[in-house]
C-alpha cells in the first residue's frame, strides 16, 4: 500500500510515519511537514513540504502523489504560544476561533476536494483525520474550550458530509474521524496535570491503536467517529 500522512512532523503524525514505515504491507509513505523537515529517515519514506491550509499546495500535493491507499490527516492545534483554549465564552476571541477553524477543519476539506483521482481503482481505501472527543456535541458535559470544540465539531461534520458524498463517487473509501485519547504531545502538554498516568498515552501507543482501528474498518462503516480503543463515539 501507498500511504499519505499529512502533518507527519507533529507528535502523533510522526508516530504514524514511524509505525507505517515499519509495516510489511506498506510499500511507500509520503509524509508532509510545514516548516522544518524532520530528521527521521527510512527507505520507504519521502518527506514533502506542505502548507495544509493552502488550496494551491494541497492541489499540487494530490496531483503529484499518484495512487494512494490510505490518507491520514494528523494536523491540528489546541493553543498557541500567546493563547490557550478558552475556559469560558467570555474569553472568546474572533481571530483565535478563525485560526482553530483554519488549522483543525480546513485541511481535511481541501484534501477531500482533490483526492478523487488518487483513490480511483483502490479497493478498501481509507481517509481518516485525527479529531477529538471534545468535538462531540452529544458528549459535551463540561463546556469550555470554545474554539477547539467548535472547530473539531466542524471537522466531524465535514467528514460525515464527505462520507455521504463519496458513497456515490468513491464507494470503496472508508471515511473516519479518530479520537487519539490524551496523548503526550506539545498540543496537550500544558493540560496534563490532572490526567491519570494510565490515561496519558505515548504518541506511538496512540497511533498504533488508531492504526489498529483503521485496519478493521470497511467502506460500509464510512462516516463514523471512532475512539482509540475501537469504540464508536457519538457525533
pLDDT tens-place string over residues 121-159: 999 999 999 999 999 999 999 999 999 999 999 999 999
Q: Is the pLDDT of residue 29 over 90?
A: yes
Residue 218's contacts (CB-CB under 8 Å, 6 or more residues apart) are 124, 174
- The pTM of this model reads 0.94
Instruction: Give residue 194's pLDDT.
Output: 66
For range 28-40, the mean pLDDT:
96
Tell me: the pLDDT tens digits for 170-197?
999 999 999 999 877 766 666 656 666 7
Residue 81: pLDDT band with limits 50, 70, 90? confident
Could you tell me the three cell numbers for 38? Answer: 524532520
> Quick check: 32 and 60 in contact, CB under 8 A?
no
Could you tell me the three cell numbers for 116? Answer: 478523487
Instruction: Give residue 184's pLDDT.
Output: 75
Residue scoring higher pLDDT (210 or 80): 210
d(CA 87, CA 159): 27
Amino acid at each position: 500500500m501507498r500511504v499519505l500522512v499529512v502533518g507527519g512532523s507533529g507528535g502523533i503524525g510522526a508516530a504514524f510515519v514511524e509505525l507505517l514505515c515499519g509495516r510489511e504491507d506498506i510499500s511507500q509513505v509520503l509524509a508532509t511537514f510545514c516548516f522544518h523537515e524532520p530528521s527521521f529517515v527510512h527507505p520507504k519514506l519521502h518527506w514533502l513540504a506542505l502548507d495544509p491550509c493552502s488550496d494551491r499546495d494541497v492541489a499540487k500535493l494530490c496531483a503529484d502523489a499518484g495512487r494512494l491507499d490510505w490518507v491520514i490527516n494528523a494536523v491540528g492545534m489546541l493553543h498557541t504560544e500567546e493563547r490557550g483554549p478558552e475556559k469560558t465564552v467570555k474569553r472568546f476571541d474572533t481571530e483565535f476561533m478563525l485560526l482553530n477553524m483554519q488549522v483543525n477543519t480546513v485541511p481535511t476539506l481541501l484534501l477531500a476536494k482533490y483526492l478523487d483521482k488518487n483513490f480511483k481503482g483502490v479497493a478498501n481505501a481509507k481517509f481518516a483525520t485525527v479529531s477529538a472527543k471534545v468535538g462531540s456535541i452529544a458528549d459535551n458535559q463540561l463546556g469550555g474550550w470554545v474554539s477547539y470544540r467548535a472547530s473539531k465539531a466542524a471537522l466531524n461534520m465535514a467528514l460525515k458530509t464527505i462520507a455521504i458524498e463519496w458513497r456515490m463517487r468513491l464507494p470503496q473509501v472508508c471515511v473516519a474521524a479518530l479520537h487519539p485519547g490524551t496523548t503526550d504531545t506539545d498540543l496537550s502538554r500544558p493540560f496534563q496535570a490532572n490526567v491519570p498516568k494510565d490515561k496519558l498515552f505515548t504518541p506511538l501507543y496512540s497511533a498504533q491503536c488508531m492504526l489498529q482501528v483503521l485496519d478493521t474498518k470497511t467502506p460500509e462503516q464510512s462516516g463514523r467517529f471512532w475512539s482509540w480503543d475501537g469504540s464508536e463515539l457519538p457525533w
